[in-house]
Amino acid sequence: MLEIKQNYSLKDLNTFGIAAKAKFFVVVRTIDELKEALQSEEAKGISIFILGGGSNMLLTKDLDYFVIKLDLQDFEITSENERIAIVRAGAGFVWHDFVLKTLDRSLFGLENLSLIPGSVGACPIQNIGAYGVEIKDTMYQLEALNLDTLEIEIFSNSQCKFDYRESVFKSELKGKYVIINVSFQLSKTPDLKMEYGAIKSELEALNITVPTPKDVSTAIINIRSSKLPDPNKIGNSGSFFKNPVISNTIFAPLLKKHPQIAHYKVDDNHTKLAAGWLIDQCGWKGKTINNSYGVHKKQALVLVNYGGASGKEIFDLSSDIIQSVKDTFGVALTREVNIY
């Protein structure tokens, strides 16, 4: 029998640590429990909110929803040959734990995504990425429950319509499916990607000359730990803004005016700007408001809740930052975090 709770506090279930309540709340550990929750009296006439790791969201108010916390924890190698393996994990599996588990089994391709907060089920929605790797590079397929029919459907990589921090589940299919598991095609042969960030210098600092995928993972864990606050200690949701991609016709005069602007080539016609650099140049990095929230002192992309801030206060801060960057550089930042 499911234990459905009313007016349930979500403070410990979102990494910002925002004090907000759910009208109804339940934890489900199996597909049958998920279906039972969706067919319950509490689910009638109310919006369904699927909660994963709570790491890519900002709660600005109490949720007049039926919040369902997914705790699907299965892990299985569903097929393999001498070169690759297909690995499936339940939507509730902690993403970083999943990455480490694949490395322990000498399956490679996810090492650059180490220490990203969140759950396996949430990662395709956002097409999470870091250090030159995105979910779309290795995701084989996923299974999702259709909220209208309660039937399980399979989505291939191409059907997910991945883009930069985007997928079909953030656009046309938003709110219509619940991802229940995700499968990845991983390699048994290392193919290290170390060109991004400070991976090589961190490996040198560790005195590693012939790195393994586990070494790359360790280096990235060290780098992220040194730059990003631990949400268990300081409320945050990681990167709050996307890196803006602009046309080269807009970028050319911007570069002339700001020769030091941090940027990366996307293709022959587009350039990606470092949102953190733009925010830093506008003077926001390290700014604290009322001793309760602000911008992290080591990474301008990260907004933080030191304790007691409301979601609306943090949202308003993000709006001020967006306007500041627009006024200074003529570039529009977009929030990466989902706002509720």
Active site residues: 165, 239, 336
Q: Which of 69, 66, 65 is nearest to 29 (CA)?
A: 69
User: Does residue 316 come out as left (phi exceeding 0), alpha (psi in the -120 to 50 range) or beta?
Assistant: alpha
- Spacing of C-alpha 1 from chain mean position: 32
Q: CA-based Rg of the chain, rounded to a whole angstrom?
A: 21
Q: Specify whether the CB–CB gap between 292 and 307 falls below 8 A.
A: yes
CB burial readout 282-296, b (16+ within 10 A) else e: bebbebeeeebbbbb
